[in-house]
Homo-oligomer: A and B are copies of this chain.
């Protein structure tokens, strides 16, 4: 397609989404759930179709020489397909956030003022290789009463179109317009440029993928973006930490999974407890082949450590690498986190009440924890049911973003003829 054709195509996608969004906003819960269940059924029934479409994508990706990690993310297994269908059913079983009325109170004038939860409207989701995002994102947007425009990675185009067919079937079964969820058909990058600037048709953009993608979208978007760039997560071990908790949590935060955004990347240890902690923890990391990069004080305690350079404190390794710094007190730990962190997830290990309280208040991150692992920062673990992404921004939504993050609240005012004097 030419640039003009892409523009026209995207404008038409946007118009249809806006018009579908008005319908889905007033759709009853039961119809939305029916659509989700029908999508799950179609996905289970079409297992073979999805697998062959995915095989095409994977073969193309291999032919293009894409790396193993990318091909891993791209590949759909039978189990992956079952999980995708299960995810749709889980979202069907969540409470409908739309229409909830809160804080309805009488005012001195006699009017009642409250807030009603309403959909955002049209959500644009831009993602990379993982095809399961097509189903997850469609389901979350629909359940929250929104229309969705999905733009997956070009390498997953066949898989995404096959999933999109199941999604459309589910919508039609429930009497909803097909355009409630649209998967963009062109792999041209110009389509993304349109999507993120169509202020009249798109209310919010959620980019999911590598930092490069998100940075680009965030810089060019004229529509609000819900996003996180980095997950530079810290654990601070206070000198009044319980030794066993400190070891167990610091081990888990780093080694339970290396490639996730809520994995610890920097460990801060109070100078008074550092010798005891590092002796034990250094052994554990060493056994698990975690490369440690320490400041001078850390290396003086545990020899088998590379020197950390300035850059290490602001690096998200997403790998078995950990930077370690010895700090004098809570103030230094909080300063380090607020300076080098990415406002994602940070934890303190301490039995001291006042320090826990200060850490909770003063660390300016989307999730702040006491005596537990950063790995818990996740929509399912927080009880949101599922997440569309994690936000490290302060506006609108912070932390894991579930159904509620895809909604807004309007004011409702009930009167009985009151007028303003």
Contacts and interface: CB of A to CB of B under 8 A. Distances in A.
A419 B370 CA distance: 12
Nearest to A252: B419
Interface string A397-420: 011100000001111111111111
B411 A373 contact: no
A121 B394 contact: yes
Contacts of A372: 111, 413-419
A242 B415 CA distance: 12
A64 to B, nearest CB: 35
Interface of A: 22, 25-26, 99, 105, 107, 109, 111, 113, 116, 118, 120-121, 203-204, 224, 242, 244-245, 248-249, 251-252, 256, 338, 347, 360-362, 364-373, 375-377, 381-383, 394-396, 398-400, 408-420
8 contacts: A22-B364, A26-B361, A107-B381, A245-B417, A367-B413, A369-B413, A376-B415, A400-B411
A376 B109 contact: yes
Copies of the chain in the assembly:
2
Chain B CB count within 10 A is highest, among A22, A116, A408, for: A408
Q: Is the interface of A mostly helix, strand, loop or mixed?
A: mixed
A382 B103 CA distance: 11
A365 B417 contact: no
Contact of A376 (B256, B376, B413): B413
Nearest to A242: B417
Contacts of A121: 364, 394
Contacts of A113: 381-383
